Chains A and B, each alone.
Chain A
Amino acid sequence: MKKTNSANLIISLLTIATVSLVNFMPTSAVGATGTDDPNRVDGGTITYVHEQEPPCLWGGWVQQAYLSRQVFDYLISYGDDGQIKPWLATDWSESKDRKTITFHLRKDVVFTDGDKFNADAVVANYPAWEKGIGWHGFTYMKDFTKVDDATVELHLSEPNPEIYNILANGHYGFQSPKSIANNSSEQRCLTPVGTGPWRIEKWARGSGISFVRNDSYNWAPENARHNGPAYAQRLEWKFVPDATTRWGALISGEANIAYQPPSVQWKTAQEEFQTLTFVATGRPQGLSFNVARGPFTDQRLRQAFVYAIDRKRIVQAVFRGTVPYEGNGSLSKTTPLYLDVDEGYPFDTAKANKLLDEAGWTQRDANGYRIKDGKRLDARLPFNQAIINTEGATALQVIQDQVKAVGIKVDLIPLTQTEGFAGAYSKPEEKEISFGYWVWPSPNILDIVYNHQLNGRPNGNNTSFFNDPKVEAEIIDAQREADPKVRQQKFGTLQKWFDDQAIAIGVYNFTYNVAVAKNLKGLWQDQGNGLLNFYDAYFVKE
């Protein structure tokens, strides 16, 4: 299966070497040498094999952002250096209270149905965002108002320095006002109309989406590698759920780009293909302990659990270098204001046993599980198979096996997609540990996952059922802090506190990997949300 044309290999090794120097440094673009690559071949069809097929092209799920990014354009763009770059907005300014942002818009942008992009279009899109994006409330956006044809004001309920990351993250794209007003819900779902470099030709459900390039495109973001229409003529986006099949499609040459190759092939992918990696922002794949009720309300038990598992080795063994180990349970490596706590809680069963003994769980049953007051140390851990892949489930099995050694019994409860999306096992009396991630480009993820209330009701995203008004006030205070240095320090203190308390601990980062054929150059991943950008990708002569 490792057939490689040796002549190709030599040429491409040169380009790969620059890309895969450091495993998890942002690898922004594969082998691009700029707009004037003499070997560039215009046109052609790029075939990309992806895993999950969302119900609609647009919405609040990151799977939808991957697709929307091809068809829509955005006010601003997330640059490779982490700086926000102009896109449909040429420049912007903040009011003194930082709650109003004024955007000046480009005047030459048209939708693929001929509609014009202007202030009215921005205002017309806001209700669709509000309705279609489930977590919209966490962005603190209130509304858009038109100042003049080419100027809009965005109003916020809270100052939000990361609002720019959010607006650039792939969800907040613009559809033509005409299509919002007139098209059926089926059309808006399957073939929304944008201003982007591609438009949708056909969505064959269960198979894939065919995109054709928008020939009048001339408003690429500042951090794109070129302007004008996309280099390739067509983009075939195929849905292939099985990793081995995607890998097979890549090595047989049927696909040019494969999403998430099997971990066991990652080394080969790095050696024989080009690879791109994006570590998602937000909170990593981690364990959240139920601190509202049950045994893990005791800090010593939470810490014991963490000491009992060899997280670094588990991640290395199961994922084979495709995802990094993440110690921080609150924020992932790429999130703004992240605090590195990777060296905390080293694997130490003696310490784990000591903590458990101190906490009074001293007796053991016939199977070696600890008992206190006649109750066994049980931890129910439901996990959603739509959110955690096979390898994630394997990692959980190793965790289960390792904590058994110190006498903790973990019950893994797999949920079907129905149960997961129906919100099963989301109540405090139903579980002791939760496992999951959330892609979010801002440290206010702490507000999302630790605030016990949301609009006056229990906050479903708070899977540890944490409830401490003092700490919540500190989170909001850090979020509102105007001085960037002080803000960083405040968020750092908070992350340290959550780590010390072991309320949530990290295991690995949700990572977006792709392997790319060697004759395709210029493909890049947006560093705000990992979205693939096919616009700059082109084939080279072989």
Chain B
Amino acid sequence: MAVDSSIIEAVPISRAIAQRHPAANILRTVLFRIGSAIFVLWGAVTITFIVLTILPGDRATILLNITSGQTIARTLEELAPINAMYGFDQPILTQYIHYVGALLQGDLGTSFELQRSVANIIGEQIAPTFTLAASALLLAWIFAVPWTLFTAGRGRRIGAFGSATETIMAGLPQYWIGILLLIIFAIGLRWFPVIGGTSFMNTVLPTVTLAIPLAGFLGQSIRSEFDRTMREPFVLSARARGMSGAGVRARHVLRHALIPGITLSGWAIGHLLSGTVLVETVFARPGLGAILVNAVSNKDFALVSGCVILNSFLYVVINLVLDTIYLVVDPRLRGAA
């Protein structure tokens, strides 16, 4: 799915922190980060709990109807034992405290629809989803960096062509690309398997599908920073010192231009669930995406919440990793730290 383009402009928090605090305060910073990470996790769980509680539809009714393939209203006599079994008859607050309490002991709970522990389900489904997201990101970078390097800052016409290509890529609906790729390369030409799976050949088309719009966004964000940096005075001075045009582009300008790309990548991994849902659906590929869509449909709170926790956790970790990467890529920050 489309990447939220506003993220390109986001300012990395560490940049601000690194500039303001000397090295001695690193411990405080780390503690602050951990604290706010826990807060984010708690908030995400609580919001999920509230929303799933107010979602229309009675859980016990859904469960009864799913197991019998019916779509009818149920009587109280039918519902009571189910409600008692899963604790749906307890006050909302009790249910919430119960869940958070178990969570603190590392228990993610049980999916009432699938009759399985949430940890098991996520453990089983995370690998294919993560593989897909990571390989798509890699492929997007492999495309976007040379593409920008060769088309940015080389005159209006080439730049416009490069930029238009990226815009088209970014605007393509993922599931649409997916369907077309599947029809052409799997069903028509038979180069790839049709049935979804997790082998290498099974991963190629979903990866390309996910990578195309991502590469478009990456290219756009790298390009605009690239163009901006090309106008910086230090580029001119490097040229004046006798550095070759290609050298300046590769060594100085590109380095700066990568920063928004890295921010975007972190965002993309942090939101891998959004990105992979549609692709997994099109290619009938196992993964968390389809599980999540179903879990929301069936008000399967523990499972939705498990996915949210996973996603938020990833988001927090990625942000920490990114902050480190900025230090490596951007020498200005290294001096400050």
A-to-B contact residues, CB < 8 Å: 1, 47, 49, 54-56, 59-64, 132-135, 185-186, 188-190, 204-207, 238-242, 244-245, 247-249, 251-252, 254-255, 384, 386-387, 416-424, 426-427, 436, 454-455, 457-458, 460-461
Contacts and interface: CB of A to CB of B under 8 A. Distances in A.
Contacts, number: 163
Interface in B54-112: 55-58, 61-62, 64-75, 77
Interface residues of B, number: 55
B290 A206 contact: yes
A207 B297 contact: no
B115 A56 contact: yes
Interface stretch (B41-49, B279-287, B318-326): B279-287
Interface of B: 55-58, 61-62, 64-75, 77, 113-117, 120-121, 124-125, 182-183, 186-188, 190, 193-198, 280-287, 290-291, 294, 296-299
A251 B183 CA distance: 12
A460 B67 contact: no
A186 B117 contact: yes
A63 B65 CA distance: 13
Nearest to A206: B286
A55 B72 contact: no
Given A55-B113, A207-B286, A386-B71, 12 more contacts: A132-B67, A135-B68, A190-B116, A248-B183, A249-B195, A252-B190, A254-B193, A417-B294, A418-B296, A421-B71, A422-B62, A426-B71
Given A205-B124, A427-B73, A254 B195 contact: yes
Most chain B CB atoms below 10 A, which of A59, A418, A461: A418
Given A252-B187, A252-B194, A419-B56, A461 B72 contact: yes
Contacts of A238: 195, 284
Contacts of A460: 70, 72-74
B116 A189 contact: yes
Contacts of B280: 206
Contacts of B285: 206-207
A60 B67 CA distance: 6
B57 A421 contact: yes
Given A189-B114, A255-B195, A239 B284 contact: yes
A28 B121 CA distance: 38
Given A206-B125, A242-B284, A251 B297 contact: no
Contacts of A249: 194-195
B56 A424 contact: yes
A55 B114 contact: yes
A206 B287 contact: yes
B62 A421 contact: yes
A61 B67 contact: yes
A502 B69 CA distance: 26
Given A59-B67, A60-B67, A245-B182, A1 B61 contact: no
Contacts of A419: 56-57
Contact of B57 (A55, A384, A422): A422
A460 B73 CA distance: 6
A55 B194 contact: no
B49 to A, nearest CB: 17
Contact of A384 (B55, B71, B197): B71
A249 B68 CA distance: 30
Nearest to B64: A134
B46 to A, nearest CB: 21
Contact of A59 (B58, B68, B75, B283): B68
Contact of B67 (A56, A251, A420, A423): A56
Nearest to B68: A134
A186 B56 contact: no
Given A61-B67, A426-B72, A252 B186 contact: yes
Contacts of A420: 65, 71
Nearest to A65: B69
Given A189-B115, A205-B124, A418 B299 contact: yes
Given A205-B124, A207-B197, A427-B73, A421 B291 contact: no
